[in-house]
Amino acid sequence: MLACGLWCASLNVQALDDPWIVLQKTAFAARELNYQGIFVYQNGNQMRSVQITHMNHGGHELTRNIVMDGQPREVLSQGSDIVIYNAQNDKVVIEKRRGQNLFPAMFPTNLDALKASYEAKFGVVERVAGRDAQVVE
């Protein structure tokens, strides 16, 4: 389930008729816009909170993720390079990105594979983080 905030109100009528267009615009915005905030997500029975600062300057993405629960760590990424700082043992790991499991890269750029296996539909409008949001299921 994904909720998109007030910016959905500015989408054209066609986007409001097609949840896949809303998801595509969400994925684009996550990569192309500059923003800062707290990203909270649930995977099974685990919830995680990550403070995110994201910049896109001249087509180059820079992201700083600070894990706010569990083991303290910070992840900096630029393109395919990742720097992980583990505050608990003062270790720094520099590596190439192996997967796309960090926000915003977790949103696929091409939704065609998802469309082949999943159905997307609009759910109810709910309040998320103090704002009205359209749920896409």
Q: Model pTM greater than 0.85?
A: no
Contact 68, 43 (CB under 8 A): no
How far, in Å, CA of 50 to CA of 69, rounded? 8
Would you list the domain boundaries of the chain? Answer: 2-136
Mean pLDDT lowest among 75-79, 107-111, 121-125: 107-111
Q: What is the pLDDT of residues 20-50, one digit of tens each?
A: 998 888 888 888 899 999 988 888 999 989 9
Query: Over 90: is that where the pLDDT of 19 sits?
Result: yes
| The two three-digit tokens of residue 71, written as one number | 């083991």
Q: Quick one: pLDDT at residue 51? A: 94
How far, in Å, CA of 44 to CA of 58, rounded? 37
How far, in Å, CA of 14 to CA of 1, rounded? 21
Q: Which helix (H) or strand (E) holds 67?
A: strand 60-67
Q: What is the pLDDT of residues 72-107, one digit of tens each?
A: 889 998 878 889 898 888 888 888 876 655 666 667
Assign domain 2-136 one CATH number from 1.10.3720.10, 2.40.10.340, 2.50.20.10, 2.60.40.1120: 2.50.20.10
Alpha helix positions (H), 4-136: 13-17, 19-32, 112-117
3 state SS of 87: coil
